[in-house]
Homo-oligomer: A and B are copies of this chain.
Amino acid sequence: MTSPAERFELLTDLYELTMAASYFENGMADPATFSLFIRKYPPGRAYFVAAGLEDFLEYIVNFRFSESDLAYLDITGTFSHDFLHYLKNVRFTGTIRALAQGEIFFKDEPILEVTAPIIEAQILETFAINTINLQSMIATKASRCVHAAGGRRLVDFSLRRTHGIDAGLKVARSSYIAGFVATSNVLAGKVYGIPISGTMAHSYISSFGDEIEAFRAFARSFPQKTILLIDTYDTVAGARNAAIVGQEMAKEGGRLLGVRLDSGDMTRLSQQVRKILDEASLDDTEIFASSSFDEYKIARTIKEGARIDAFGVGTRMGVSADAPYFDIAYKLVQYGERPIMKLSPGKVNLAGNKQVFRKTDPQGRFLEDIIGTWDETVEGACPLLEPVIQDGKLLKSHPSLEEIRERFRKNFAALDEKYKALENPPVYPVKVSARLNALQETASG
C-alpha cells in the first residue's frame, strides 16, 4: 500500500484524543493558545528557515473525522458515544498567527500560535509538529548547502533516501525554497512546478558495455539535454570519451551540457576533467558533481579549488544527516485568562500569547529580535507573526512557491554572514520584552 489512507485526521498520537475526550467530559472549552517553537539549536546552527505552513493550514481548514475514522475509534473501546458524536462535528473555529514560509527565525521564537477552544487546538499538535519540523529542518539544511556553494547551482538528488514518499516531495519543495535550482524528483516537478533535472546512471553505461557507444546513444536521444556520467570505469578516460562525443555533438548542431563526476577525489578529478574539456574547446560544457555532498563537503571541495559548476546534493541533505530532528515543541501557553509556563527540567517555555519583533538597520539587515506579548508594539521593530486563519477560515490564498523562495532569498541576504558559519556560529540576539517578562511572573505551571 503506497497510500494506505486518504485522510490524515487520525495521523495523531492517541493521547491527543484521550485528552480531548477528558476535556469534553469535564466541560473544558475555554480558548487555549499553543505555541510551536524550537527549544535549542542543533550542532552548528544559529538560525532556522520556516517552511511547511501551507500543508498545516490546508490540513486545518479541511479537518473533519470521516465515518470510517469514527468507526475505528469506536471499536477501540476507549471513547464514549457522546464524545464520538462530538468529534463527528468538530471543525477548527480558531485563530492562527504564523511566520511566513521562507522567514528566518531563531530558538524560542514561536513559528506559529494556535488559539482555539482547547480541544480544537490540542488535537492539531502531532500534525503541526510533524509537518513543520520536517520542512523547516530541510529548508534550514538546504540553505546551508546553498550558502556553502557560493553561487554554484544545487540540485536535489535525495529522493531515493528520503524517509518515504511524503518526505521525498517535501524535501524537494523545502530545498527549492532555500535556493536549490531543481530536483530530480519528477512528481515534485508535476505537483509543485519545480524545475526537474537528471543525468544518467551507471546502469545505462553498463548495459551498453562500451562507454563511448553509450555516450553516443544518449546524445542521439537528447542532443540538447545530455549530461554524461563519466566515472563508470575511469573518470579521466571517461572525460576523454565525453570530449569526443561533445565535439561530435557540436558538429551536428547539438551541445554537450555537462559531465557528471560521482566518485573519487572531486577536487583533483574536476581539475583534470576541466582541462580535458577545455582542450577540446568544450568551454561551456559544465562539470556536475554528486558524491555524498553536504554543506561541509561542498565548502571543503570549493576551498580546495575544485572546478565544479553544479552539485547534485542527495542523501545527507534529504535526511538532514547531522541533525535529523529538531527539538521542536507545541506547548500550551495560555488557557482562558491564565498564562501557562511549563517548568519541567530543561523544558521551560515562555507563557502567554506572543509576537516576534525584528529590528533591522536602514539597509534592512537584521539587528536583533524581541519576543513580546501579542498585543504590544516595539518601537522601530517589525512584527513577524501574521494572522493566517481567523474563525477557522483562511485569511488569504497561499503565496506561490516562487514568492516564498524570493522571501527566503531576501531574508537570507539580510542575515549577517557570521550566523551562517557552518561550525560554531555565534548566537543571534533574541531578547524578551519587559512586558512579556512581567507576564512570566504571573504564569502558572
A3, CB-defined interface residue at 8 Å? yes
**Interface residue ranges of A51-91 to B (CB < 8 Å):** 54-55, 58-59, 68-69, 72-73, 76, 78
In the complex, are the beta carbons of B332 and A202 less than 8 A apart?
Answer: yes
Known: A118-B207, A161-B325. A2 touches B13 (CB 8 A): no
User: Which of A102-110, A124-132, A381-389 is near enough to bind chain B?
Assistant: A124-132
Asked if residues B233 and A445 are in contact (CB atoms below 8 Å), the reply is yes
CB under 8 Å from chain B, chain A span 1-58: 1-6, 8, 10-19, 21-23, 25-26, 28, 32, 34, 54-55, 58
Contacts of A222 in B (CB 8 A): 18, 21-22, 78
Contact with B along A250-284 (1 / 0, CB 8 A): 00000000000011100000000000000000000
Contact B335 A207 (CB under 8 A): yes
Contact B8 A2, beta carbon cutoff 8 Å: yes
Contact of A14 with B166 in the complex, beta carbons under 8 Å? no
Does A203 count as interface, using CB distance less than 8 angstroms?
yes
Q: Is A300 an interface residue (CB 8 A)?
A: no
Contact B163 A165 (CB under 8 A): no
Per assembly, the copies of the chain total: 2
Q: Does A201 contact B (CB under 8 A)?
A: yes
**Given A197-B14, A325-B315; A22-B59 close (CB under 8 Å):** no
Nearest-neighbour CB distance to chain B for A400, whole angstroms, equals: 14
Tell me which of B1, B18, B185 contacts A198 (CB under 8 A): B18
Contact-residue bracket for chain A: 35 or more
Per-position contact with B for A202-229: 1 when CB-CB < 8 Å, else 0?
1110110100000001101110010000
**A78–B224 CA distance with the chains assembled, in angstroms:** 9
Q: Is A432 an interface residue when CB atoms closer than 8 A count as contact?
A: no
- Nearest CB on B from A84, distance (A): 13
Interface residues of A in 177-217 (CB under 8 A from B): 184-187, 189-192, 196-204, 206-207, 209, 217
Question: Residue A157 at the B interface, CB < 8 A?
Answer: yes
Q: Quick check: is A418 within 8 A (CB to CB) of the other chain? A: no
Residue on B with the closest CB to A13? B184
A162 interface residue (CB < 8 Å to B): yes
Answer whether residue A343 sits at the interface, using C-beta atoms and an 8 A cutoff: yes
Closest CB of chain B to A130's CB: distance in Å? Answer: 5
Contact pick for A206, options B22, B201, B340, CB 8 Å: B340
Cross-chain pairs A/B with CB under 8 angstroms, 26 sampled:
A1-B55, A1-B191, A10-B187, A10-B190, A11-B165, A15-B184, A18-B199, A18-B225, A23-B207, A32-B203, A122-B203, A125-B160, A129-B161, A130-B161, A130-B165, A131-B165, A134-B163, A163-B319, A203-B331, A203-B332, A206-B340, A209-B444, A233-B343, A263-B344, A263-B345, A319-B319
